Amino acid sequence: MLKGKVALVTGSTSGIGLAMARALAAKGADIMLNGFGDEGEIEAIRAGIADEFGIGAAYNAADMSSGEECAGLVRAARAELGDCDILVNNAGIQHTAPIEEFPVERWEAIIAINLSQSFHTIRAALPGMYEKGWGRIVNIASVHGRVASVNKAAYVAAKHGLVGLTKVVALEAAGRGVTCNAICPGWVLTPLIQAQVDLRATEKGLTQEEAKADLLAEKQPSKQFATTEQVGGLAAFLCSPAADQITGQELGIDGGWTAQ
Ligand code: NAD
């Protein structure tokens, strides 16, 4: 389905980003990986995806907190694999604290990575998509792009902003073969959420299993984590012809969180 297409997935060395890279590779897209981690492990991921799915895969270590490096990543994908047909803005970080104690440096880093990243990559990638008359932009927002929780000022502000940016890009690109949507997951058990499970276990004196159940019970009616593969499946669907007219949407995978 995506043979001959180039997909750039930011923050794809771990968690949801890696699952989306795998889901798009499984449909035949060549993949530009990005993110931090151990050099040897990243090379094993890159070579493994290329080998398993018979596609081209490259890696670039650009830091998504820098606008310059975001644009540079789009250029690197073009140089190594070709113009970017599918752009998945996924790299993200979290920090939790009450606003009066929220470190200013964490606020700025979260806004840069979780929001401004997408402005810079989309700005760099859209002209190539317009030229081809086809493109898919998938922004990984969050349930926190739709509703708020305490102690997440920067994350909630960034993700709400990302949903807004998604809608603007969808309108500007409408009728030009380019769609732009936001995926809004609830709890997905990745290293990012494991840190919140660990914190809860320590603060409340719970076992890991109890802390996970406690976290889910508070917000996610299904009481089950969504899986990275399910998010990857939705990203792949958004790149299929069935999704040609789906644009400007905030698509939840949240076990009913936002239905409450
Ligand atoms: P993760 O920590 O497993 O993965 C984050 C990825 O981003 C990693 O590859 C990391 O190396 C990369 N990254 C971090 N900072 C970067 C930077 N400055 N430049 C380049 N890469 C960077 O987290 P995850 O849970 O897979 O999160 C992925 C996205 O999904 C994030 O945007 C997150 O906000 C969103 N999300 C996650 C959940 C969840 O429950 N896990 C829910 C909703 C939304």
Distance CA 230, CA 101 (A): 35
| pLDDT, average across residues 207-235 | 97
Residues 84 and 140 in one domain: yes
Residue 192 has pLDDT above 90, yes or no: no
Q: Which SS3 state, helix, strand or coil, does residue 87 take?
A: strand
Q: What domain count does the chain have?
A: 2
Calculate mean pLDDT across residues 116-144.
98
Task: Write out pLDDT tens, residues 211-222.
Answer: 999 999 999 999
In this prediction, residues 238-258 reach a mean pLDDT of 98
Question: Residue 152 above 90 pLDDT?
Answer: yes
Q: Do residues 101 and 195 share a domain?
A: no
Is the shortest distance between the CB of 98 and ligand 1 below 6 Å?
no
The tens digit of pLDDT for each residue in 131-151 reads: 999 999 999 999 999 999 999
CB atoms within 10 A of CB 255: 20
Residues 83 and 194 in one domain: no
Statement: residue 174 has pLDDT above 90: yes
Among 107, 155, 225, 257, the active-site one is 155
Q: Which residues pair with 138 in a beta bridge?
A: 88, 181
- Residue 78 near residue 29, CB atoms below 8 Å: no
Full residue range of the structural domain in which residue 247 is found: 6-186+227-259
> What pLDDT score does 10 carry?
98
152 and 244 both lie in a single domain = yes
For the chain, what is the mean pLDDT?
Answer: 98
- Taking CA atoms, 124 is separated from 128, 129, 174, 229, in Å, by 8, 10, 18, 28
> Which pLDDT score, from 0 to 100, does residue 23 have?
98
Residue nearest to atom 44 of ligand 1 (CA): 142
Place of tokens 């009616």: 221
DSSP 8-state secondary structure symbol assigned to residue 178 = E
Best residue for ligand 1 mutational test, from 45, 93, 96, 138 (most atoms within 8 Å of Cβ) = 93
Question: Residue 47: what pLDDT?
Answer: 98
If one residue of 12, 16, 69, 218 were mutated to test the ligand 1 pocket, choosing by the most ligand atoms within 8 A of its CB, it would be: 16
Q: Are 177 and 199 found together in one domain? A: no
CA of 192 relative to ligand 1 center, distance in Å: 7
Are residues 70 and 151 located together in one domain of the fold?
Answer: yes
* Shared-domain flag, residues 155 and 176: yes
> Do both 83 and 133 map to the same domain?
yes
Within a domain: 20:
yes
Any domain includes 57: yes
Does 1 map to a domain? Answer: no
pLDDT tens digits, one per residue of 59-110: 999 999 999 999 999 999 999 999 999 999 999 999 999 999 999 999 999 9
Same domain, 218 and 231: no
Q: Are residues 151 and 236 in the same domain?
A: yes
Q: Are residues 131 and 29 in the same domain?
A: yes
Q: How far apart are CA 232 and CA 109, in angstroms?
A: 26
Whether 26 and 133 share a structural domain = yes
59 noted as active-site residue: no
Order of strands, edge to edge, in the sheet holding 6-9? 57-60, 30-34, 6-9, 86-89, 135-140, 178-185, 250-253
Q: What are the pLDDT digits (tens) for 10-55?
A: 999 999 999 999 999 999 999 999 999 999 999 999 999 999 999 9
Interatomic CA distance for residues 123 and 107, integer angstroms: 23
35 Cα: distance to centroid of ligand 1 (angstroms): 9
CATH number at residue 166: 3.40.50.720
SS3 114: helix
Q: What pLDDT was estimated at residue 254?
A: 98
Q: Which long-range contacts (CB under 8 A, 24 or more apart) does 51-54 make?
A: 52/25, 53/22, 53/25, 53/26, 53/28
Q: Is 25 in the pocket of ligand 1 (CB under 6 A)?
A: no
Residue 154 domain-assigned (yes or no): yes
63 lines ligand 1 (CB under 6 A): yes
Residue 150 domain-assigned (yes or no): yes
Q: What percent of the chain has pLDDT over 90?
A: 99
* In-domain check, residue 97: yes
pLDDT given at position 150: 97
Nearest to 21 by CA among 54, 57, 51: 57
Q: For the whole model, what pTM was predicted? A: 0.97
> Per 3-state DSSP, what percentage of the chain is helix, strand, and coil (rounded to 5)?
55, 15, 30
Q: Which amino acid is at 113?
A: I
